[in-house]
Chain A
Amino acid sequence: KAGVTQTPRYLIKTRGQQVTLSCSPISGHRSVSWYQQTPGQGLQFLFEYFSETQRNKGNFPGRFSGRQFSNSRSEMNVSTLELGDSALYLCASSLDTSGRQETQYFGPGTRLLVL
């Protein structure tokens, strides 16, 4: 079974631009969560989607948004990029049959560099 895939793996953007990251969950997984990893803050929760609906949201500004499609694939969008948005963005999927994300499977991440 293929794991969680994320595209692109690396991305360089300039301030003010916008970016869209893509995540394909493990087949059959319906829950997709996004995380931002930075050296100073560690892993921070962005949001979680389940059945095309945002179910949970972290404490990030509205510039960060996402969506999920009917095939459970998810995209994350960041508008008006700032230097501080440079980070590793991780996507994780889970079966979520119990409603708790005990076992999430993470993708390799997209490393975003904002210049």
Chain B
Amino acid sequence: DQQVKQNSPSLSVQEGRISILNCDYTNSMFDYFLWYKKYPAEGPTFLISISSIKDKNEDGRFTVFLNKSAKHLSLHIVPSQPGDSAVYFCAAIYYNTDKLIFGTGTRLQVFP
């Protein structure tokens, strides 16, 4: 049972435009959410996170939005750059634990 879902396995965006990566979760006991980026042959790299008490967190070109009622979060990348091409994982942490539950990932390709 996949508790964190990324329904789009891939996304293709033109350089300079906005990339929107989506993530849905099923467990209301998740209280912290993170996004990781992964290049081939490398481990995931932490990008940005958001606590369940917030609905938005921004860091440079990256913004994460959380809609608790819909159990949905999204990562916006503006403007998209070719170097952003990678696999993006969303992850969630259960309340009062340290256990990360990852989504299956979305492969983002940014073309010139």
A residues lining the B interface (CB < 8 Å): 4, 31, 33, 35, 40-45, 48, 55-56, 58, 90-92, 96, 99-109
Task: Report the bound CA distance from A103 to B93 in whole Å.
Answer: 12
Q: Which residue of A lies closest to B94 (CB)?
A: A56
Q: Which residues of the partner chain A approach B49 to less than 8 Å between Cβ atoms?
A: 102
Q: Which residues of the partner chain B approach A43 to less than 8 Å between Cβ atoms?
A: 44, 89, 91, 102, 105
B68-111: CB near A (< 8 Å → 1, else 0) gives 00000000000000000000010101000111111111000000
Q: Is the CB of B44 within 8 A of A48?
A: no
Q: Is the CB of B93 within 8 A of A45?
A: no
Q: Which residue of B lies closest to A9 (CB)?
A: B41
Q: Which residue of B lies closest to A56 (CB)?
A: B99
For residue B62, CB closer than 8 A to chain A, the reply is no
CB distance from B13 to the nearest CB of A (A): 21
User: Residue B98 contacts which of A41, A42, A96, A109 (CB distance < 8 angstroms)?
Assistant: A96
User: Residue A102 contacts which of B32, B41, B97, B101 (CB distance < 8 angstroms)?
Assistant: B32
Q: Is the CB of A45 within 8 A of B42?
A: no
Q: Which residue of B lies closest to A59 (CB)?
A: B1
